Amino acid sequence: MSLAGKTAVITGSNSGIGLGVAYELARAGADVVINSFTDRSEDHALAEQIAREHGVKARYIKADMSVGEECRALVETTGTCDILVNNAGIQHVAPIELFPAAKWDAIIAVNLSSAFHTTAAALPLMRAKGWGRIVNIASAHGLTASPYKSAYIAAKHGIVGLTKTVALEAAGQGITANAVCPGYVLTPLIESQIPDQMKTHGMDRETVIREVMLARQPSKQFATIEQIGGTVAFLCSAAADQITGTTISVDGGWTAL
Ligand code: NAD
């Protein structure tokens, strides 16, 4: 598979899954734009490293995915967007009656509304070329629920619905829209939840990982960022031309339970 000549914009990609996706798309030959809301020398260094390792063009563009105009500007500044991967995401865990309203708003903005804005900006560019791929990084929590993650689960179910709608609006135009639904992937977002879980359950790190985090992941293994990136690259390949409006789970069997 070659994605040479294609430009991919990956939101929230200076870390974790987004960075893994950027690497896999670059490995397949795509030029990549990586993004977050910071503007540090390390962010730009990541783009330089991808360009060096894979012989593609890579840029870092700062844009805050909680701000609609910045989401649209990310795509517009790139100028061309053949592949759009909506990956930026945040989490907060609390019972619904204690869930801070500001956290709810932030999660809905970053995890859901950002994809509405980037997609609206990218679709005209894709239609002009008669080819495009939109891949939304949802979650097993886009298909099923757990307690205490109301905003995240609402946003992830929402992005699955958005994916289906975009697929229908773009059908027959060479543009597909799909959602990847990972189970647990050991990234900074998950690392940050481990201390709280240890405290809540009175368990050590290894027990929390095995008994709490991977309790619903029958494989008892984390998915890797390379596996998520590889799934996104597959969805960008010609083999996936007729795959649209659907979800692909990479969850070690979680949603089969
Ligand atoms: P992460 O914390 O490593 O990465 C999140 C990325 O989003 C970072 O690059 C961060 O800088 C960026 N980001 C956060 N707020 C932003 C903002 N306002 N503007 C721009 N960028 C912003 O987490 P991750 O685990 O790699 O998560 C990536 C995506 O995968 C998220 O959408 C998450 O919900 C989803 N996901 C993760 C897992 C998992 O187990 N790690 C499972 C299912 C789905």
- Give tens-digit pLDDT for 31-74: 999 999 999 999 999 999 999 999 999 999 999 999 999 999 99
Q: Does the residue 255 lie in any domain? A: no
Residues whose CB falls within 8 Å of the CB of residue 184, separated by 6 or more in sequence, listed in order: 190, 213, 214, 217, 222, 223, 251, 252
Q: How far apart are CA 40 and CA 44, in angstroms?
A: 7
Domain count, the chain: 2
Residues whose CB falls within 8 Å of the CB of residue 211, separated by 6 or more in sequence, listed in order: 201, 203
Three-state secondary-structure class, residue 136: strand
Q: Does the residue 2 lie in any domain? A: no
Nearest ligand 1 atom, CA 13? 9
Ligand 1 site, residue 106, Cβ cutoff 6 A? no
Same domain for 88 and 177, yes or no, is yes
pTM: 0.97
Ligand 1 site, residue 86, Cβ cutoff 6 A? no
Q: How far apart are CA 4 and CA 211, in angstroms?
A: 43
Same domain for 131 and 206, yes or no, is no
Q: How far apart are the first and last CA of the chain?
A: 33
Mean pLDDT of 234-246: 98
Locate 34 and state its tokens. Answer: 């990586």
Q: Does the residue 256 lie in any domain? A: no
List the 175-182 sheet strands across, edge first.
58-62, 31-36, 7-10, 83-86, 132-137, 175-182, 247-250
Domain that holds residue 193: 187-222
**pLDDT exceeds 80 at position 1:** no
Q: Does the residue 143 lie in any domain? A: yes
pLDDT, tens only, 137-174: 999 999 999 999 999 999 999 999 999 999 999 999 99
Q: How far apart are CA 116 and CA 111, in angstroms?
A: 10
> Quick one: which of 175, 168, 186 has its CA closest to 122?
175
Mutate to test the pocket of ligand 1, among 10, 11, 23, 187 (most ligand atoms within 8 A of CB): 187
